[in-house]
Structure 1
Amino acid sequence: MANKVALVTGGQAGIGAACAKRLARDGVAIGVLDLTADLCADTVAAIEAAGGEAIALGADISDRVQVKAAVAKLREKFGPITILVNNAGVTDFVPFEEITEARWEVVYKINVLGQIIVAQEVLGDMKAKGWGRIVNISSSSGQTGAVGMCTYSSSKGAVITLTRSMAQELGPLGITVNNIPPGSVMGTIMSEANRDKFQIPTEMLLQAIPVRRMGEPNDIANACAWLCHEDSGYVNGQTIGVNGGRVVS
C-alpha cells in the first residue's frame, strides 16, 4: 500500500481519526479532512509521530468549492488520490412529527450529497490510475431504523443504496465501493455528544450485542483498512457490518 494516497473525511477524532491512523500504518499518505484544518491537527500529529505522512485539510463536504480546494491541496502534497474514506456526517435526534424541511435538507446535504461530492472530486485520479477504493461509512440504524432518528437513519440507508449503485457503475473502472455501517461505537464525537439521547440504556444494549461489548473506533478502522487493501479487489458493493453481531446478514 506504499505510495498510495487516501482522503479521510471527518478525521478530527473517533472513527475518522482511527481510519486515518490505521491506513497510515500501512504506508498510505493521508489527507485528514474536517470542517477546519485546525481540527485535524492532533490526528496528523499522531500519524507523523508514528512515522507516517499526513496533511490537515479543512472543508465542508457539502460545499463543492471547498472540497475541490482541499483535494487540490492534498494532490499537490502527495500526488493522485486513489483511496477515499467517506466518514464525515451529522446525526439527528428528532421525533418524526417534529421533522422540518430545513433540518431534513441539512442532514441529507451532508450525509448523502456530501459523500457524492467528495467521491466525484477524487474520481478523476482513480480513473486515471485504473484503481481505486471508496469506503462509505453509513450506520447500522440505516439497516434497522431507530426511534427518533428518522432523518438520520434514512440518510444512512441512502448511503447504503448509494454504495451499491456506485459499485456497479465504477467497478468496471477498477474502482471498488463498499460501505461499513458501524453499530454501537463509543468514543466518537457523535456518541459522546448525544449519550443522553440514546433510547436504550447501555446495560440493555450490551445484552443485544452477541460479543457483549460496545464497539471502538479501531474496530471500524480495521475493517476499513481491509477494504482499502490491494488484496480486496474482488469485494465490491458490499455492506460489511461491524457491530458485534447486533445486526446480522
Structure 2
Amino acid sequence: MCSPLEQFTLIPVLPVSLGNAVFSFSNATVFTLVTMGLVLASVKLSLGRGFCRVLPLGWQTLWECFYEFIDGMCREQLGGFRRRFITSIFAIFTLLISLNLFGLLPYSFTVTSQLSITLSFSSALFIGITLFGIRRHGLHFFSFFMPAGAPIALSPLLVLIEIVSYGFRAMTLSAARGMITAGHTLLKILSGFTWTMLGAGGVLSMLAVAPALLVLVITGLEVAVALLQAYVFSILLCVYLNDAINLH
C-alpha cells in the first residue's frame, strides 16, 4: 500500500447479479461475516450444551468474563430490565471487540474504521431505542424533550435544543471509531518507516530498533483502544436505554 489511508478503502470483492441489478460484497462485508462466524462458533463451542464445563477453561473463561462484565453493567443501568436486553448488549459488545481486534491482524480490514458502517449501526440502534421508548410510554415519551420546571416562555427553544441533542446520540455512539482510524494510520506509517530503515542497511538498520519498539507499544495501545471503544459503545447504549425506560 502506498498510502497509510489506503488500508481503509472499501473494495468490491464478490459481485452478485439480481436481474439487471448488480451488487457486490465489499471487503468490509466479508470481514464482518467471517468475524461473526468465528465468534458464533467460539461461543457455541465454549458455552453450548455439551461443551460447557463446570470449571471454565480457555475460551469459556473469556466469554464468561465478558458476560459477567456486561451483566454488571446492565444491572447497574437497567435494573429490572436487565434480562430483557443483556443478550443483545452482550452480542453487540463481543462483535465490536472481535471486529476491532481482527482489524489489528496483518492484511485484514478494520470494519469499525468506516464511519458509514458505524453510523448506520448506531443509527439503527438509536431508532430501536426510540421506538421502544414510545411503545413503553406512549405520547408521554415526548415529555423527554421538555425539562421539568422550565419556563413556558423558553419551551420552544428548550424543546429544539433537546431534540437536536437527542439526535446527536446516534453520532456519539459511533464517535470512538476516530481513535481506531488514527491508531491504525500511525501504525502503518511507523511500520513502513521501520521496514525502510531495515532495508537501508548499515547504521540505519541498527537504529530501526527504536521505531520497531514504538510499533509494539502502539500495538498494545491499539488493543486497549479496541476494548475501550466496545466498552464506550455498550455503556452509552445502556445509558440511552435507561433514559428510554425512565425518561430521565
User: Which structure dedicates a bigger proportion of its chain to helix?
Assistant: 2
Tell me if both proteins adopt one fold, taking TM over 0.5 as the criterion: no
Q: Which has the higher contact order (CA 8 A, sep 6+)?
A: 2
- Which has the larger Rg? 2
